[in-house]
Structure 1
Amino acid sequence: MEIKTILVSLLVTALGIAVAIAGFAAEAKNRKNSLPTMGYYSSECDDYSSSPVVGIAIAAIVALVIARTIITATTGGCCMCCRTPNISTFARVCIVISWITSSIAVILFIVGAKVSGEKGGEIDVNGVYNCYTLRPGVFRAAGIIGLVSVLLGLVYYLLYVLARSRAAEKSGVDLELEKPPVTDFKEPTNL
């Protein structure tokens, strides 16, 4: 494997792990999950919205977008899987599923951050005041789905690199840059 392929793989894997860790950290920091139902308005609902969950969710989204950008940039851009004739169907399926799952993860992180950041609550039919809460597991699911998305993108990237190197070997063209030719240099004569 080339150094570039190894570095891209390590970077994308690290970003995927960061997305998963951020999902689990946001789930752990989401203190409103354990907030009891209150019979009257309380400022506790406003205090619970000040947790760092929103920042963690935004960091996870940024890591996921960076990973997607790296995969897209190193494989020739969006829809390159359709334009590369010698790439396998499995690789094409991986990238499509990767795009779908990354979109789902981003949506879950955004919705989770929005609900976690809301202050106040609402009065239900029985007149009981409930704080806005996020169902347990949303951030955890977003982290796992984000990790799966990045790993599927990595599988696509590795299969893409493999297909490109096989195509280069088949055509006999070397993908590396050639060294410039060395020419004889004549010193100018003094006239």
Structure 2
Amino acid sequence: MVRTSMIIAGVVLVLGLISVGAGFAAEATRVKGSQMRIVDGKCVHPSNPVMGLAITAATALILLRVVVRVATGRGYACCRTRPNLPKLIKLCIFLAWLMSFAAVGGFIVGAKNTTKTNLVFTNGEYGCYVIKPGYFSGAALVALVNLGLSLFYYLVIASSQNVPNKPSDSEVEALPVSKDHLIPPLPPQMQ
């Protein structure tokens, strides 16, 4: 069970790093205003990988969320958690879900906006819409925080599931059986 939880944690880490890396790569390769051209009243985008990188980042983050959700099982969803969980874990679960929605939404909206071809009228001039600097890196930072929170609460939950159950107070330990019927067994205090 410990080995399985470490493999799952490794998969979550890889998916999170893919998402964060693709987000920062999308930021580095985003189209700048100086690269846009206007042809026949439409904006023409230069060929670049921003849309693919943003979709890759969003997909990896969605897969991360699916893996953690399946691995933790019932009772560890965004707003429906087990009542006996510590408040810190409940907060981590809620924040991780919230941040994953924000990051995935940011990546998808950014990918959609990189293909806009309509002219925009700003400051008395027509120009082309471009993604603002820091947009994709902001989504990547949110994805990074999500990764940290998801790994933390997954590992805490997985480690608590790996602890063997202690016998409850209502369970009684059986006295040892002696092969020699002449010698009575020792009381539990003297063993």
Please state whether the residue corresponding to 1:35 is helix, strand or coil: helix
TM-score by length of 1: 0.77
Please state whether the residue corresponding to 2:81 is helix, strand or coil: helix
1: CA distance, partners of 2:14 / 2:161: 24
TM-score by length of 2: 0.77
Structure with greater proportional strand content: 2
- Per the alignment, residue 45 of structure 1 pairs with 43
Output one character per residue of 1:41-62: Cα deviation in whole Å (capped at 9) or x when no partner: 44793133x4221111111111
2: CA distance, partners of 1:162 / 1:152: 15
Alignment of 1:15-164 (within 5 A): 15-31=15-31, 33-35=32-34, 41-42=38-39, 45-48=43-46, 50-77=47-74, 79=76, 82-83=81-82, 85=84, 87-124=85-122, 126=124, 128-164=125-161
Structure with greater proportional helix content: 1
Tell me the amino acid that sits aligned with residue 35 of structure 1: S
Gaps of 5+ in 2: 169-191
Alpha carbons 1:68, 1:150 under 8 Å: kept: no
Alpha carbons 2:75, 2:81 under 8 Å: kept: no
Please state whether the residue corresponding to 2:45 is helix, strand or coil: helix
Alpha carbons 1:26, 1:57 under 8 Å: kept: yes
- State the structure with bigger RCO (CA 8 A, min sep 6), 1 or 2: 1
Please state whether the residue corresponding to 2:120 is helix, strand or coil: strand
For residue 84 of structure 1, report the CA deviation from its aligned partner.
5.8
For residue 36 of structure 1, report the CA deviation from its aligned partner.
7.0
State which drifts further: 64-73 or 139-148: 139-148
Gaps of 5+ in 1: 173-191
2: CA distance, partners of 1:34 / 1:102: 29
Instruction: Report how many residues are paired.
Output: 165
Give RMSD over aligned pairs: 2.4
For residue 129 of structure 1, report the CA deviation from its aligned partner.
1.5
Q: Percent identity?
A: 32
- Per the alignment, residue 13 of structure 1 pairs with 13
Output one character per residue of 1:107-127: Cα deviation in whole Å (capped at 9) or x when no partner: 11111111111124223362x
2: CA distance, partners of 1:78 / 1:138: 34
For residue 170 of structure 1, report the CA deviation from its aligned partner.
2.2
2: CA distance, partners of 1:73 / 1:171: 29
